[in-house]
Amino acid sequence: MESNRLKHLYVEELKDLYSAESQIVKALPKMIKAATSEDLRAGFEEHLEQTKGHVSRLEEIFKALGESPKGKKCKGMEGLIKEGGEMIEEDPAPEELDAGLISAAQRVEHYEIAGYGCVSTYAKLLREDEAVSLLRKTLEEEKETDEKLTQLAESINLEAVASQASEEGNSRPRKAKTARA
């Protein structure tokens, strides 16, 4: 591809990511408020701080390019965040809510991983070395967040299964429980 076309594509995709990250900064406080698990809430809080850093890294890249980061709205991220918001509004049971929040957050991470993977390849082809290193740092952080969410999903869902099992155990008539003895 002609180098100035690639550069155009690079800047457009960076704008898309800038819009996506800015939307996440606004959405995460709502997710923090909605989360019932302490660990999940702490994870979202940590990721909010990280996301602010992702916005700053993009601003740094735009500054070096002499371009404005504004002017584009990432509709993909808008849709993902809207879906997450609708799930919260349905007012599910606490474990279901946390599982739903994790699922929404992982969709967001995967979307970002795809975006950062592409722009870091473009930056490499364009020999924008400084940008390559900044974009790869963010890409790594998005991957780490995704892994942490997978671990949280396992522990939170396990807790939910365990508490359901003990509830069932308590409500079961005594006779049935001792019938075997």
Chain residues binding Fe ion by CB under 5 A are 51, 54, 112
Burial class of residue 131 (count of CB atoms within 10 Å of its CB; 0-12, 13-18, 19+)? buried
Residue type, 127: R
- What gap in Å lies between CA 156 and CA 40, rounded to an integer? 9
Distances in Å between the Cα of 12 and the Cα atoms of 23, 71, 123, 160, 172 are: 17, 9, 12, 43, 60
- Rounded to a whole number of angstroms, the minimum distance from the CB of residue 145 to Fe ion is 8
59 vs 167, which CB is nearer to Fe ion?
59
3-state secondary structure of 92: coil
- What gap in Å lies between CA 166 and CA 160, rounded to an integer? 10
- Rounded to a whole number of angstroms, the minimum distance from the CB of residue 138 to Fe ion is 6
16 vs 112, which CB is nearer to Fe ion?
112
Nearest to 62 by CA among 25, 108, 13: 13
**What six digits make up the tokens of 44?**
């979202």
- Rounded to a whole number of angstroms, the minimum distance from the CB of residue 35 to Fe ion is 18
Residue type, 89: E
- Rounded to a whole number of angstroms, the minimum distance from the CB of residue 49 to Fe ion is 11
51 vs 120, which CB is nearer to Fe ion?
51
109 vs 128, which CB is nearer to Fe ion?
109
Which residue is nearest to Fe ion, using beta carbons?
Answer: 54
- Rounded to a whole number of angstroms, the minimum distance from the CB of residue 75 to Fe ion is 17
112 vs 128, which CB is nearer to Fe ion?
112
